[in-house]
Amino acid sequence: MSHFLVALALVALTAWALTLKGGVIGIVFVAALLYLAYKRLSLLAYTTTFGVLLVAYSVIGEPAGLWKGFLWLLFATLALINVVPLRQRLLTRPFMRIYRRMLPAMSSTEREALEAGTVWWDGELFTGKPNWSKLLGAKTPVLTAEEQAFLDGPCEELCRMVDDFDITHRRGDMPPEVWDFLKRKGFFAMIIQKKYGGLEFSAYAHSCVLAKLSTRSATVSSTVAVPNSLGPGELLQHYGTEDQKNHYLPRLACGEDIPCFALTGPRAGSDAASLPDFGIVCRGQWQGREIIGLRLNFSKRYITLAPVATVIGLAFRMFDPDRLLGGKNDLGISCALIPRETAGITIGRRHFPLNVPFQNGPIQGRDVFVPLDFIIGGPAMAGQGWRMLVEQLSVGRCISLPSSGTGGGKAAVFATGAYARIRRQFNMPIGKFEGIESVIARMVGLTYTMDAARSVTAGAIDGGEKPSVPSAMLKYHVTEMSRQVANDAMDVHGGKGICLGPRNYLGRGYQVVPVAITVEGANILTRSLIIFGQGAIRCHPYVLKEMEAARNPDRVQGVRDFDDALLGHVGFTLSNAVRSLIMALTNARFTAAPVDGPVARYYQHIVRFSASFAFAVDVAMLSLGGYLKKKENLSSRLGDVLSCMYLASMVLKHYENQGRRPEDLPIVEWACRNLLYKAQEQLHGFLRNFPNRFLGGVMRFLIFPRGLQYSAPDDRLGRTLAELVLAPGAVRDRLCYPVYRRVEAGNALGLLQEVLEMAEQAETLEKRLRVEGVKTGRVTALDLPGQIEEGERTGLLSRDEAAWLRNYDRKVMDLIHVDDFAPHELGTNGKPRLRVDAAVQEQNELFV
C-alpha cells in the first residue's frame, strides 16, 4: 500500500513536471523515484528520497499552494506507514481478512504437488530480475568415461541388434535376444545404485542413452525408459525399507524382476484425488497365518510393461475403518509393491498403442490380500504415496519423454537433411526450394531447443535440483516440438514417409508421437493447469509466503509474516511495472547482460520479458484471485510466456556449454527469436483476453508502450539453418549426436549419411552430363542410368566416374524406394476378435 502511494505521487509529480516552470526539478524528482523503483530499494529509501526532493522543491520550486500541500500529505502518509505497528493495524490486518476470503480451496494432493521438488531457474524468471550467475555458473553436463563407454558400447550394439519393422510388424514385441541383452547389460538399472548391482548413471547419461535409443526404435526406448523413470526402482531407493531394497533392487538391476507401476485407471487419470482403487486394512490369511494386511480392489489401464511385469507398483486409496492401525479411517493415497503371482490379480492382456508394440496393458485386482509390509516404506509410509509420486515425478518427467522426443527430433533432422539433398526434382535438390528450406529450418531450430532444454535441465538434476515446474514445461513443450518436427519430416519425405515397411525410417516414430503427448500428464492438462498453476505459487517470491502466513494458526506471527510478505510483494509489483515500462521504451538496450557479443541482446530481452511477466502475473492474481484458477486460457498463456523464457535461457546456456562456437550462432539466433516472438504473442493474447478491460489497458501501456516489436525469424536466417544440415559438417554432427549412424544394411540413417557425403561430387558429375550432354543433344536418355551410359560412351565421363556415379545412383534409389507387399502379407489370419475376460468384466462391475 505504501508503494502504491509512492506511485500516486509519481503520477502527480509527472503532471507537475510537464506543466509548471519548475519542470527541471520535477523531472529530476520523478527520475530519481523511478530509478529507486527500478533498483528495488526499500520503503525507507523511497520515503527518505521523497522527503529530500520535496524539501528541495519547496525551497527552489513554485510558491506554496494546494499542490505542495498535497505532496507533503503524501510524504506524511509514507512516513507513518514506516511505523510497523501502525501499518499492521491499519493496513495489514484488514487486507489479510480480505485475502483469506480470496484464497482458493486447495486439496491435499494439490498441496503435496506444490511442495514437491525444488525451485531453480524457473524461480529466477518470476523475479523480473533474474540472476544469470545462477544459471551460467551451473556445471556443464558431461559423461564420465564409464558412461561414454556404455553409450559407445552396449548402446551401439543394441541399436545394431534392433530391426524395428520386425518388432512392430512381424513380432509385435522385441525378440528374446534383445530382452536378454537389455537385462544382461543393465539397461533396466541405470538409476539403481551400484551397491545393489545397478549402473548408477547420472541424469545426463540416462538422458543420452534414451535419446540414442529413440533414434533407432520407439519400442526399445520406451521399454528402457519406464524402469528408469517413476516406478518401483526409483521409489524403493528413496522410500523403501532396507529389507525391501535388499530384496528387490538387486533383482531389478539384473532383470530377474521386471517392474511396472499402476496409477491410471478407467475412472481416474490425472485426477489422483478421485482414485477409486482402494485397500482396506483388515485381518486375513497370509502363508498359513492370520495377520493384519490390506485387501485391495483395483482396475488399472495404460500400464507400460504390465503384460510382462513380475512385480507391480500400485497406487491406491487406503482406508482403516476398524482403526486397526489406531489412526484415522481415510489414510490417503499409498503405494505398494505386489508380486505378479499374488492371488486375485488379472494381468497379461495388452493394449496396442498406435502400432508401436511396447508392452502396455491393463491390470485388475479383486480382493487381493497382502501384508502391510508390502507398502513401499512399510506401514510408516501409509498415506504418503502421492507425495512420493510427485516428488519423484519432478525428476523422471524431466528425462524420459524429453529425451525420447529429442532423440526422435535428432533422427528426423539427420534423415531429412540428407534426404532433401539427394532427392531431386526439377534438376535440383528439393532442400533448395524455399518452402522446404523453411520447414527444415524449423526442424533444426526446434531440435536445438529440445536438446538444450534436455541437457541443461538434466545437468541441473545432477547438481541436486528436483525441478518440478521445469519438468512440466519440458514434458509439454518438448513433446509438442517433437510432434512438429515429426510432421515436418513427414511433409518433406512425402510418399517415402507414409508407406510402411522395412525401408521406412519415419513412420513408426510419427505414429508414436501422440503417446508422448498423452502419458505422464496429458499435454492439454499440463499446459492449462500445471505449468502456471504450480509455478505461480511455488516460484513466486512472495505468494507462497503470503498463503502460509494467512493460514498460520498463530494469528500474531501470521500477521507479522503476512506484513513482511505483503510489503515486499507490493514493492515487487510496482518495481516490475517500472522495469517493464523502461525496458519496453528502451528495448532493453541499457539492461545489464552477463556476456558480451551477439547473444547479449537475447539476455536483455529475457530480462525484459521477466519483468513484464512478473508484473502481469501479480495484476492477474490480485484482481482475479481464485478465479484465475478457472481461467485456464489465461493461465495457459502465462505458462507459455514462462516456458518460452525458460527455453530461451536453456538455449543460451547450452550455447555456452558447447564453447560458444560461432558456427552454431545462426541456430541460437533462430531459436531465441522464435521463443521471444512466441512469448510476445502469448503475452499479447493474455492482455487481449483479460476480463478487466481497464486493468488490461494499464498493463498494455506498461508492457507494450511501443506496440509489438518482436518478429519471427526471417527467411534469410532460415536458409542458413537449412544449409547447415543439407551438407556434412560439424554443426550437423553436433546437433544430431548421438544418433545411430553406423553404415550398415538396415540402418537408413547411416546409409543416408553415406550418400550425403557423396552428394557434392555426384552433383558436379550430374551437372556436367546435363550442361554438356543433355542441353547439347549429345545425351538423349531420360533417366540417369541411361545418361551415365551415354556420357561414358561420348567421353563426358571417364570409366571410373561413370562407375562411381552408377554406385551413387544405386544407393540413392535404394533409399528413395518404398516397400510393397503381396496381399497375404498384410492383415491378420481370420477376423480380429475383441473380448472382455470374465475377470475383467467382474472387476469393471465392481466400480460401477
Cell numbers standing for residue 500: 510402411
**pLDDT the model gives residue 21:** 46
Using the structure block, give the residue that is written with the C-alpha cell 498463530: 554
Neighbours of 198 (CB within 10 A): 22
Q: Which helix (H) or strand (E) holds 479?
A: helix 468-493
- Residue pair 253/196 in contact (Cβ under 8 Å)? The answer is yes
Q: Which positions are catalytic?
A: 520
**pLDDT the model gives residue 553:** 86
Query: Contacts for 81-88 with beta carbons within 8 Å, 24 or more apart?
Result: 81/1, 81/2, 81/5, 81/43, 81/47, 82/2, 82/43, 82/44, 82/47, 84/563, 87/2, 87/563, 87/567, 88/559, 88/560, 88/563
Q: What are phi and psi of 594, to 5 degrees?
A: -80, -10
The DSSP secondary structure of 440-475, one letter per residue, reads HHHHHHHHHHHHHHHHHHHHHHHTT--BHHHHHHHH
Put simply, whether the predicted model's pTM sits higher than 0.75 gets the answer: yes
Closest residue by Cα to residue 456 from 637, 186, 724, 671: 671
Q: Which helix (H) or strand (E) holds 318?
A: strand 311-319
d(CA 676, CA 602): 9
Burial, 822: exposed, middle or buried (Cβ in 10 Å; 0-12, 13-18, 19+)? exposed
Please tell me whether residue 120 adopts helix, strand or coil conformation: coil
**pLDDT the model gives residue 628:** 85
Closest residue by Cα to residue 156 from 735, 740, 745, 748: 740
d(CA 29, CA 15): 12
| Beta bridge partner(s), residue 364 | 299, 346
Sign of CA dihedral 282, 283, 286, 291: positive
Closest residue by Cα to residue 318 from 329, 310, 303, 309: 329
**pLDDT the model gives residue 27:** 66
d(CA 280, CA 17): 74
d(CA 697, CA 34): 21
CA angle at 694 for the pair 691 and 699, rounded to the nearest 5°? 90
- Residue pair 602/35 in contact (Cβ under 8 Å)? The answer is no
Q: What are phi and psi of 762, to 5 degrees?
A: -65, -40
Using the structure block, give the residue that is written with the C-alpha cell 541443461: 456
| Beta bridge partner(s), residue 290 | 285
Which regions of the chain are under pLDDT 70? 1-30, 32-33, 57, 60-65, 67, 104-109, 270-273, 828-848
CA angle at 733 for the pair 728 and 734, rounded to the nearest 5°? 140
